[in-house]
């Protein structure tokens, strides 16, 4: 008797443990469960949640589980989890990270499965379709373009007399236009920050990227996936760094702790960041203008990236699940106007033209920047290269290196990164 | 030879087995797996190719490695002595027979229980220019300048060391405190009878009695300081530029941002060798009696 009871305990422990080891593919009420990983924060997240809720209540067969991952190590988690065959069914990725993920063998091409679900890649403009293409295959469905733009606090700008009759900022599209505008703001509103942006970090890099390509800069890397050459134009890179460097310490205070907060609290006339801030300022009832960075130089170019949906490889995946995945992705793509509420520009031309998008304030003001975005090069080294570039610019803007020394250091670091 | 009996000798084995299995699986096995990785081109998806000592040779000629190593060594040199001496001073304070005893013990130790993300966030918040409390206090007492604590390499080091000190010194203090309380009272009583002053008692009784634990603390502290990582990642991310990037952060970047696990493993083993050598030297120098405690 005693003996048999022990066996029952042992067997039930084993059953319980094996139950834990299997990942759950269905929900309690029998719907197919798809894991969807995102790295979105604050503003973006609530809009994506709304879309997923909408999808879950639109039918009874599939339940999409939105799982928020920390941004800092998101890609590491995707790579390790897929390597352990515990990856998500669907994930968000930046277009810039696709070559690296593809090269790791994590992604499957999505064009055919999306066609079956009724999504045609011809709906996307060329530059954004190219941004998800690696070695001739399309590896993701882009859902937006998010360029780096300029925000102006209308109340402060008006106080400083820096709005025209229609209430638009009067920034001239000349090399000195931007500087003159904020210098004027500094003079009339000495208590306020003319332009808020952090001295180092990713946003300064985005600005530098914009200026570099507006000045006619060549791509950073040649188009070789695994062995790219550095094709960065040193002279223009230096010039662009010098241009930006002049703003720091003059119309931009050095090392602002939290420049979002500075603008949000109404203490800055202008600030620059990605379009996702539009949704944030709207929910804060800030009276602002969102506009493309003025074209100060010869070329009409902008920095930007794209949120895309990827389908990480899984060892065993039934056709049924694959179809469900494709259907959900097509649904998100169709909801592009909803997603645009976060501030993004929809990836698909037909969504951009739709009334649902055109009616939204601000976004239509900068929607045409999407076609001017210079995406990153098709190389597996993009992410580490970005770290190198951010660091070098950091050294320049905080006056530890001259623009020349800084760009040389940048090129040296890029050479090490790409193993040249 | 005595025969092994179930009751006395073999009975503990089943109880130890659980730990032993976990220890082999999660400590011993990874040590050898890591060593194997360092000889391969190894990505997270395990595309492997044996390349022998190439990674080690590359690491030794990698200027970033040497910079990161130098940064770490600097941190160890600056933080370790303060960490030990300050811990001793705090322990002496917390051991005084005053009503504040409990307060001292609590307040010195409490920072140690906070997570690294919390202390890093608080540090960033306090050290911000223009709005941070540190600069505001400085300006309130008459300093007419705006130090950029986290954006100037030397000040960034000062900040990191100060934060680390505040955060971890409590642990060393507890070790010292335990040892202080373990010193037999009759030593002091005898000294008092002989007419020793308090100072003499400290130099002749307290300090020598604390030497063994002091050596242990020094060893642990050197090892811990060499492994400095999380607070730097969160506070400066190795910046400005790469001027505060420690070796572990560089290993992390190579392993988990560039997915070059073989290279990262090779660096880990070089660091491991350094720590091993340092530990052996310290053990040899420290214990004339041949033991740590």
**How do residues B227-255 score in pLDDT, each as one tens digit?**
999 999 999 999 888 899 999 999 999 98
Q: What is the 3-state secondary structure (H, E, C) of chain B?
A: CCCCCHHHHHCHHHHHHHHHHHHHHHHHHHHHHHHHHCCEECCCCCCCEECCCHHHHHHHCCHHHHHHHHHHHHHHHHHHHHHHHHHHHHHHHHCCCCCCHHHHHHHHHHHHHCCHHHHHHHHHHHHCCCCCHHHHHHHHCCCCCCCCCCCCHHHHHHHHHHHHHHHHHHHHHHHHHHHHHHCCHHHHHHHHHCCCCHHHHHHHHHHHHHHHHHHHHHHHHHHHHHCCCHHHHHHCCCCCCCCCCCHHHHHHHHHHHCCCHHHHHHHHHHHHHHHHHHHHHHHHHHCCCCCCC
For B108-163, write each residue's pLDDT tens digit.
999 999 999 999 999 999 999 988 999 999 999 998 889 999 999 999 999 999 99
Q: Is B41 on the interface with A (CB under 8 A)?
A: no
Give yes or no for residue B290 having a pLDDT over 50.
no
Contact A255 B241 (CB under 8 A): no
Confidence of residue B288 (pLDDT cuts 50, 70, 90): low
Cross-chain Cβ contact A394/B128 below 8 Å: no
pLDDT at B256: 84
* Structural tokens at position A245: 């460097």
Tell me the nearest-neighbour CA distance from B17 into chain A, angstroms: 18
Residue B96 confidence (pLDDT): 85
pLDDT tens, residue by residue, B203-218: 999 999 999 899 889 9
Confidence of residue A104 (pLDDT cuts 50, 70, 90): confident
Residues on chain B touching A254 (C-beta within 8 angstroms):
129, 146, 148, 151
pLDDT band at B272 (very low <50, low <70, confident <90, very high): very high
CA pair distance B169, B82, nearest whole angstrom: 9
- Cβ separation of B128 and A105 shorter than 8 Å? no
Which of B136, B293, B129 is closest to B209 using CA atoms? B293
Write out chain B residues lying below 8 Å of A73, CB-based. 256
- The mean pLDDT value for A84-103 works out to 94
pLDDT in tens, A230-280: 999 999 999 999 999 999 999 999 999 889 999 999 999 999 999 999 989
Question: Measuring CA to CA, which residue among A393, A209, A196, A205 is closest to residue A281?
Answer: A196
Q: What is the ipTM of this complex?
A: 0.81
- Residues sharing a CB contact under 8 Å with residue B284, sequence separation 6 or more, in sequence order: none
> Is the predicted pLDDT of residue B86 greater than 80, yes or no?
yes
A21 DSSP 8-state letter:
H
CB contact under 8 A, B44 and A104: yes
Summarised one tens digit per residue, pLDDT across range A130-143 is: 999 999 999 999 99
Q: What is the pTM of this model?
A: 0.88
Is the confidence at residue A364, as pLDDT, over 90?
no
Angle at A109 between CA A105 and CA A115, to 5 degrees: 165
Among A205, A260, A264, A391, most B C-beta atoms within 10 A, so best to mutate, is A391
Check pLDDT > 90 for residue A336.
yes
* Confidence (pLDDT) at A20: 45
Q: What is the pLDDT of residue B293?
A: 45
Greatest alpha-carbon pair distance for chain B in Å reads: 81
CA distances from B122 to B38, B83, B161 (A): 37, 21, 15
Q: What is the pLDDT of residue A1?
A: 44
Chain A residues within an 8 Å CB radius of B151: 199-200, 254-255, 398
Q: What is the DSSP letter of A163?
A: B
Res A15: pLDDT? 53
**What is the C-alpha to C-alpha distance for residues B51 and B33, in angstroms, rounded to an integer?**
16
Residue of B148, B242, B256 lying closest to A255 (CB–CB): B148
Q: Closest CB to A83: pick one of B45, B129, B153.
A: B45
Residue B129 touches partner A, C-beta closer than 8 Å: yes
Task: Report whether pLDDT(A14) > 60.
Answer: no
Residue-wise pLDDT tens digits, A29-67: 889 999 999 999 867 899 999 999 999 999 999 999 999
Are the Cβ atoms of B44 and A73 closer than 8 angstroms?
Answer: no
Compute CA distances B209 → A309, B202, B220, whole Å.
64, 10, 19
The percent of residues above 70 in pLDDT, for chain B, comes to: 95
Q: B165-209 pLDDT, tens per residue? A: 999 999 999 999 999 999 999 999 999 999 999 899 999 999 999
Task: For an interface test with A, give the residue of B47, B63, B134, B241 to mutate (most A CBs within 10 A).
Answer: B241
| pLDDT number for residue A18 | 52
Residue B2 reports pLDDT greater than 70: no
Residue A387: in which H helix or E strand, if any? helix A382-397
- Any idea of the CA torsion for A165, A171, A172, A178, to the nearest 10 degrees? 170
**What was the pLDDT predicted at B289?**
53
Q: What is the rounded end-to-end Cα distance, in angstroms, of chain B?
A: 32
**B45: nearest CB among A105, A256, A416:** A105
What's the pLDDT at A28? 85
Paired with A309 in beta bridges are A92, A141
Contact in structure between A301 and A371 (CB atoms under 8 Å): no
B242 close to A (CB below 8 A) = yes
CB count within 10 Å of CB A38 equals: 22
pLDDT digits (tens, 9 = 90+) for A400-418: 999 999 999 999 999 988 8
The whole-angstrom distance between residue A319's C-alpha and the CA centroid of its chain comes to 31
Q: Which two tokens stand for residue A333?
A: 């793509």
Contact (CB, 8 A) for B4 and B10: yes
Rounded CA gap, A245 and A157, in Å? 23
Task: Assess A86–B contact: CB distance below 8 Å, yes or no.
Answer: no
CA distance linking residue A21 with residue B88, whole number of Å: 49
Task: Assess A253–B contact: CB distance below 8 Å, yes or no.
Answer: yes
> Hey, which residues 65-84 in chain A have their CB within 8 Å of chain B?
73, 76, 79-80, 83
> Can you give the pLDDT at residue A11?
58
């Amino acid at each position: 008797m005693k003996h048999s009871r022990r066996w029952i305990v042992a067997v039930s422990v084993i059953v319980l443990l094996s139950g834990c080891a299997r990942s759950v593919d269905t929900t309690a009420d029998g719907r197919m469960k798809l894991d969807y990983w995102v790295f979105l924060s604050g503003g973006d997240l609530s809009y994506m949640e709304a879309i997923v809720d909408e999808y879950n209540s639109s039918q009874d067969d599939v339940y999409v589980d939105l799982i928020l991952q920390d941004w800092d190590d998101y890609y590491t988690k995707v790579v390790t989890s897929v390597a352990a065959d515990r990856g998500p069914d669907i994930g968000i990725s930046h277009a810039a990270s696709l070559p690296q993920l593809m090269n790791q063998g994590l992604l499957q091409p999505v064009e055919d499965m999306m066609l079956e679900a009724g999504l045609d890649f011809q709906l996307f403009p060329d530059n954004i379709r190219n941004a998800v293409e690696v070695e001739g295959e399309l590896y993701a469905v882009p859902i937006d373009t998010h360029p780096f733009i300029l925000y102006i606090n209308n109340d402060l700008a008006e106080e400083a007399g820096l709005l025209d009759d229609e209430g638009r900022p009067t920034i001239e599209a000349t090399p000195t236009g931007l500087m003159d505008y904020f210098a004027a703001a500094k003079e009339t509103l000495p208590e306020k920050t003319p332009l808020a942006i952090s001295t180092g970090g990713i946003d300064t890099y985005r600005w530098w990227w914009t200026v570099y390509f507006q000045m006619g800069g060549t791509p950073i890397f040649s188009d070789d996936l695994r062995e790219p050459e550095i094709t960065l134009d040193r002279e223009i890179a230096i010039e662009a760094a010098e241009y930006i460097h002049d703003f720091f310490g003059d119309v931009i205070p050095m090392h602002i702790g939290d420049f979002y907060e500075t603008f949000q609290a109404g203490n800055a006339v202008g600030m620059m960041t990605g379009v996702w801030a539009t949704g944030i300022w709207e929910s804060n009832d800030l009276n602002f203008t969102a506009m493309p960075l003025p074209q100060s130089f010869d070329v009409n170019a902008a920095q930007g990236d794209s949120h895309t949906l990827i389908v990480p490889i899984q060892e065993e995946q039934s056709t049924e699940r694959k179809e469900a995945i494709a259907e959900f992705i097509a649904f998100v793509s169709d909801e592009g106007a909803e997603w645009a509420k976060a501030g993004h520009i929809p990836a698909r031309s037909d969504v951009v033209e739709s009334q649902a998008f055109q009616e939204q304030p601000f976004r239509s003001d900068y929607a045409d920047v999407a076609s001017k975005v210079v995406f990153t090069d098709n190389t597996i080294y993009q992410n580490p290269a970005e770290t190198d570039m951010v660091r070098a610019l950091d050294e320049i803007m905080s006056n530890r290196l001259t623009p020349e020394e800084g760009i040389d250091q940048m090129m040296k670091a890029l050479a090490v990164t790409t193993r040249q | 030879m005595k025969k092994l009996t179930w009751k006395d000798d073999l009975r503990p084995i089943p109880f130890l087995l659980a730990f032993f299995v976990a220890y082999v699986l999660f400590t011993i096995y990874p040590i050898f797996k890591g060593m194997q990785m360092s000889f391969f081109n190894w990505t997270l998806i395990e595309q492997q190719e044996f390349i022998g000592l190439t990674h080690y040779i590359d690491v030794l000629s990698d200027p970033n490695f040497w910079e990161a190593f130098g940064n770490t060594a600097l941190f160890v040199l600056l933080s370790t002595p303060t960490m030990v001496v300050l811990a001793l001073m705090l322990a002496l304070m917390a051991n005084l027979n005053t009503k504040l005893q409990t307060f001292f013990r609590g307040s010195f130790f409490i920072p140690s229980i906070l997570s690294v993300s919390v202390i890093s966030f608080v540090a960033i918040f306090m050290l911000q220019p223009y709005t941070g409390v540190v600069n505001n206090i400085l300006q309130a007492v008459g300093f007419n300048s705006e130090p950029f604590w986290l954006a100037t390499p030397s000040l960034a080091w000062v900040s990191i060391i100060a934060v680390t000190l505040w955060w971890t010194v409590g642990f060393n203090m507890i070790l010292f405190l335990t040892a202080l309380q373990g010193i037999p009272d009759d030593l002091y009583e005898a000294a008092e009878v002989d007419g020793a002053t308090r100072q003499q008692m400290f130099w002749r009784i307290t300090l020598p009695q604390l030497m063994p634990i002091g050596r242990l603390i020094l060893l642990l502290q050197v090892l811990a300081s060499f492994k400095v990582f999380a607070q730097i990642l969160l506070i400066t991310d190795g910046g400005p530029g790469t001027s505060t990037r420690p070796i572990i952060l560089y290993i992390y970047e190579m392993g988990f941002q560039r997915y070059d696990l073989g290279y990262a493993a090779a660096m880990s083993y070089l660091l491991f060798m350094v720590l091993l050598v340092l530990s052996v030297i310290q053990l040899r120098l420290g214990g004339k009696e041949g033991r740590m405690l």
